[in-house]
Amino acid sequence: DMRSPECMANIAAKLRSMHDRTGLNHNDLHRNNMIVRTGGELEFLDFEYTGPADPTYDIANHFNEWMYPYNGENPHLFQLGLYPRLSQRRDFVTHYLGFTGGGKGAVIDDFVEQVEGRRLDSHRFWVNWAERSGPSEFNKLYAKARRTLIPSDHFPDESSHQKDEWCKPTDEVFQGMARTFSKMLQEAPTAAESEGLRHYQRELNGIS
């Protein structure tokens, strides 16, 4: 689970090593593009979107990817409740910068702020990617859903999180999904899309 403290630390260290060693970004780092070898070594996969090293963008894109479960019937729908909490973002940056010995709080906070400043760049890139990749139904829905995050600062309220818990609470996932569906309905979808979204909302209300 890439949300566990140990896994986050490994990803952060591996990403820093890649940036320093190759001078390149991964630019598409999500759960399906990572594997753990039998011996426990973490490996990154799929370097199709690599580019010149831009660490704050690469990390911002990785954080955005937390919102996509990459499974189920609707992989194009983000879930706001899955976005990493501030404590998780700080932990990731702490390991990326190698400041695990303590201190450097101001440097860590400044770097986290820089990362947050790049998250919209990530959303814009993937909207553009979907629109240029062809007229498939998935690309259309993916671009439409992700475009609702531009501009956006509507991420989960930090005050609702327990500082020392890293597991995602189930109710936060449902809340994130509900906000996603509501936001998409506000974008004046077609009648068919609207009915589909309302169907998902009814299902969500039945299990939350």
Q: Kindly state the average pLDDT of the residues 20-37.
A: 94
Residues 60-110 pLDDT 10s:
999 999 998 877 676 667 888 889 999 999 999 999 999 877 767 899 999
Q: Kindly state the average pLDDT of the residues 137-152.
A: 80
Residues 168-192 pLDDT 10s:
333 444 455 455 555 555 554 555 5
Q: Residue 167's CB: how many other CB atoms inside 10 A?
A: 9
* Dihedral over alpha carbons 128, 53, 9, 13 (to 10 degrees): 150
Question: DSSP string spanning the chain?
Answer: -TTSHHHHHHHHHHHHHHHHHHSEE-S--SGGGEEE-TTS-EEE---TT-EE--HHHHHHHHHHHTT----SS-TT---GGGSPPHHHHHHHHHHHHT-TTS--HHHHHHHHHHHHTTHHHHHHHHHHHHHHS-S-HHHHHHHHHHHTTSS---PPPGGGS-TT--SPPHHHHHHHHHHHHHHHHTT---HHHHHHHHHHHHHHHHH-
Mean residue pLDDT of the chain comes to: 78
**What topology does CATH give the domain 5-166?**
Aminoglycoside 3'-phosphotransferase; Chain: A, domain 2 (3.90.1200)
pLDDT higher than threshold 80 for residue 153: no
pLDDT higher than threshold 60 for residue 152: no
- At residue 68, the pLDDT reads 86
Instruction: Give the span between the Cα atoms of 92 and 8, in whole angstroms.
Output: 6
Q: Kindly state the average pLDDT of the residues 6-12.
A: 95
Q: Which amino acid is at 183?
A: K
pLDDT band of residue 46 (cuts 50, 70, 90) is very high
pLDDT higher than threshold 50 for residue 203: no
In angstroms, how far is the first alpha carbon of the chain from the final one?
A: 23
pLDDT higher than threshold 80 for residue 59: yes
CA distances from 27 to 47, 118, 123 (A): 8, 12, 12
